Chain A
């Protein structure tokens, strides 16, 4: 090699265990440096500019010691910024969701919505590629070509705290790569889109399903935006989205950041137009960098806890019998108050949906439970909520009390801090 600035290197070898070269015996000047390898220990040494002998490589069975940071941004820790990407967690116990203009969740963290004449259902499925157990299945029961203002989409909204390190909207913005496994009965071109949390910017990209009813993995690298607003707190940073058939109002150009809310590139066959069409997706991963890496399998308990930051489901079980969901005390002869600590602190103070029917009993003092007429929340915080239960009569002030949710899905309390 004759390049200016480089000189020859000589390598010396030792077979003596633990024999480490001394600094005085290794040169590192511009006339030629030396390396030393210990073939018994399986270590390679050099002398750095400070005159210290360093190990720069060791055999696989040796542990590695790193004096500085390891710069492999998408390999360690919270690699996948998508939560529930393997579609395993499903606190939403309904069997299927029929898409409407209101955002609904067929399983945790993935929202669906549509504005079209098509009838589309979405639900958790056990159909999955090798290495996965679940997916989301979309089924078009009645197809309809989208009009100009129609959309059929699903998405996951990502919280700013989980995305801030990508520095989107700044000169230091980092590339991201989304990958997923997909299968559809309808071949052709499909679109994904990413929106800023304030809906002012969109990025579209296409992928192709080339073989019907066959799992394939898709990988798309997103050019990072250096301007725009991407929240870095507990509000929405971005929305990672998939189009299932939308109209010309939402048509935009692929592979560039656009001002406004766009959904598709206009080149695909809309799935929503095909009666009987199916579409499955799982293994969704969004990571830093320009390469898709292996799926970030997290323990199920971890994944569920991540989901519960956004949604929790209390009571409403039909498999565990009546459920004591909270303990408290009677503050009047007709009212008891309870405290419920969320198992996971939520993203923000949640909205709480109580069933309209009287599906709760109060146990206090007497053996016979008292059927409640009204159950309402008390103080609601991101960490806990109070519950008030009002009965006709029979409570004793100061007595302890238990709140029981009956063994029916009708007793479900839904707690939502979704983005």
Chain B
């Protein structure tokens, strides 16, 4: 299983990270009522690797800090 953050470029040119891609195909919104999102958070807590939008693993304090920003 793989998770990678998805960075969306808005029409005004700015970027927002509001989804995570599971297994390169399923786009999961950061929505607490979404059960795929709930599972994503459990998987990361259980050690599954989360990659940033460029495909680099997020580890250590950076991962903790990022997860704390999620709803």
Contacts and interface: CB of A to CB of B under 8 A. Distances in A.
Partners in one complex: yes
Interface of A: 234-235, 331, 337, 347-356, 376-380, 416-419
Contacts of A417: 34
B34 A376 contact: no
Contacts of A234: 33
B56 to A, nearest CB: 19
B27 A353 contact: yes
B65 interface: no
Given A348-B31, A351-B22, A351-B27, 20 more contacts: A331-B11, A348-B33, A349-B29, A350-B34, A351-B28, A351-B29, A351-B34, A351-B36, A351-B37, A353-B26, A353-B27, A354-B27, A355-B25, A376-B6, A377-B27, A379-B8, A380-B19, A380-B27, A380-B29, A419-B35
A416 B24 contact: no
A337 B31 contact: no
Interface in B27-53: 27-29, 31, 33-37
Interface in B1-24: 6, 8, 11, 18-19, 22, 24
Nearest to B38: A235
19 contacts: A235-B33, A331-B11, A348-B31, A349-B29, A350-B34, A351-B22, A351-B27, A351-B29, A351-B36, A353-B25, A355-B25, A356-B24, A356-B25, A376-B8, A376-B27, A379-B18, A380-B19, A380-B29, A416-B36
Nearest to A414: B26
A72 to B, nearest CB: 33
A353 B36 CA distance: 11
A350 B33 contact: no
Tell me which of B8, B22, B37 has the highest count of chain A C-beta atoms within 10 A of its own C-beta: B8
A9 to B, nearest CB: 58
Interface of B: 6, 8, 11, 18-19, 22, 24-29, 31, 33-37
A376 B21 CA distance: 10
Contacts, number: 47
A355 B27 CA distance: 11
Contacts of B29: 349-351, 380
Contact of A352 (B11, B18, B27, B37): B27
A234 B32 CA distance: 11
A418 B29 CA distance: 13
A354 B19 contact: no
Tell me which of B24, B36, B37 has the highest count of chain A C-beta atoms within 10 A of its own C-beta: B36
Given A378-B8, A380-B19, A348 B25 contact: no
Contacts of B19: 377, 380
Contacts of B11: 331, 337
A351 B27 CA distance: 5
A348 B37 CA distance: 11
Nearest to A353: B26
Nearest to B37: A351
A380 B6 CA distance: 13
B19 to A, nearest CB: 7
A94 to B, nearest CB: 16
B12 to A, nearest CB: 11
A352 B34 CA distance: 11
Contacts of A380: 19, 27, 29
